[in-house]
């Protein structure tokens, strides 16, 4: 959530990036498991509230109160670089960073809710798509392909795999379904810091970018557009929309690179991946 704009990793020394990437200890990983589970449980909780007539601000309030009062966790987004709410709510053609407000959801909408919690100093970051009533055929399809794209990327994670391999697999799947991949925003390392190295692009070329190492933790969160990949930042300096007003969908998990593969740190009962 709240991705930062990517840099051109083709012109950056990969050894320097690896040196700046924080490899987590066993005790840090355990704290991230706890934070990740809490973040995913917020998304489990909010699902029943996503229905026609509710405002995105009401969804934000429900999430905020649950994080603070039930979980004793901190909403990481609130006041982060001036962001005014506790979660992001991105509806229909909003790609990411939608600010909750007075907008009421209606039947057929699709919405991404992006939640990051801080627990004992560590972050758990995830997002999911929700249907408001029965979705349109296109709305359902783009949500499915965005989820599939994330899972394809996650399933590639293991030591030695390059970030470019993951991005290429995500891009190939999305484009084979006649959708496009947003370029300006990306996944990111995470831990004590909300945004750490490495940057995780959702497009790319095989055998390029940093090779993964056991102990890395980062998000995979592809943003998939039904139309062109082009984006536009609104005047609030947060909300990012598709330039052609086509639908957009995104799913996100925080993952750990293990000795033999990966562990999803934001898994829970209703998570999109076992």
Domains by residue range for the chain, with CATH = 9-264 (3.90.230.10)
Q: How far is CA 213 from CA 158, 263, 272, in A?
A: 8, 13, 25
- Residues 71-115: tens digit of each pLDDT: 999 999 999 999 999 999 999 999 999 999 999 999 999 999 999
Residue 12, pLDDT > 70, answer no
pLDDT (mean) for 9-19: 57
- Residues 221-270: tens digit of each pLDDT: 999 999 999 999 999 999 999 999 999 999 999 999 999 999 999 998 77
Q: Are 139 and 60 in contact (CB under 8 A)?
A: no
Q: What pLDDT does 69 receive?
A: 98
Percent of the chain at pLDDT exceeding 70: 92
Instruction: Give the separation between CA 37 and CA 269, rounded to whole angstroms.
Output: 9
With vertex at residue 51, the alpha carbon angle to CA 56 and CA 151, rounded to the nearest 5 degrees, is 85
Helix-helix angle 26-46:56-65, to 10 degrees:
140
């Amino acid at each position: 959530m709240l991705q930062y704009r990517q840099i051109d990793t083709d012109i950056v020394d990969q050894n320097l990036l690896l040196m700046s990437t924080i490899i987590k200890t066993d005790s840090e990983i355990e704290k991230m498991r706890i934070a990740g589970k809490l973040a995913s449980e917020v998304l489990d909780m909010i699902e029943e509230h996503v229905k026609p007539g509710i405002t995105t601000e009401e969804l934000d309030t429900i999430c905020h109160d649950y994080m603070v009062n039930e979980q004793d966790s901190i909403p990481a987004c609130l006041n982060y670089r001036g962001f005014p709410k506790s979660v992001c709510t991105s509806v229909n053609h909003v790609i990411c960073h939608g600010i909750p407000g007075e907008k009421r959801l209606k039947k057929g909408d699709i919405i991404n809710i992006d939640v990051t919690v801080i627990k004992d100093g560590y972050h758990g970051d995830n997002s999911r798509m929700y249907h408001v009533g029965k979705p349109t055929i296109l709305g359902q399809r783009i949500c499915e392909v965005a989820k599939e794209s994330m899972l394809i990327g996650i399933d590639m994670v293991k030591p030695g795999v390059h970030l470019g391999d993951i991005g290429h697999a995500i891009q190939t799947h999305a484009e084979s379904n006649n959708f496009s991949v947003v370029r300006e925003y990306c996944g990111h390392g995470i831990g004590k810091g909300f945004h750490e190295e490495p940057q995780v692009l959702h497009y790319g070329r095989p055998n390029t970018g940093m090779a993964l190492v056991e102990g890395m933790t980062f998000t995979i969160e592809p943003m998939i557009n039904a139309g062109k990949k082009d984006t536009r930042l609104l005047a609030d300096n947060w909300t990012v929309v598709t330039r052609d007003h086509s639908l957009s969908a995104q799913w996100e998990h925080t993952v750990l690179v293990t000795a033999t593969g990966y562990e999803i740190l934001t898994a829970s009962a209703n998570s999109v991946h076992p």
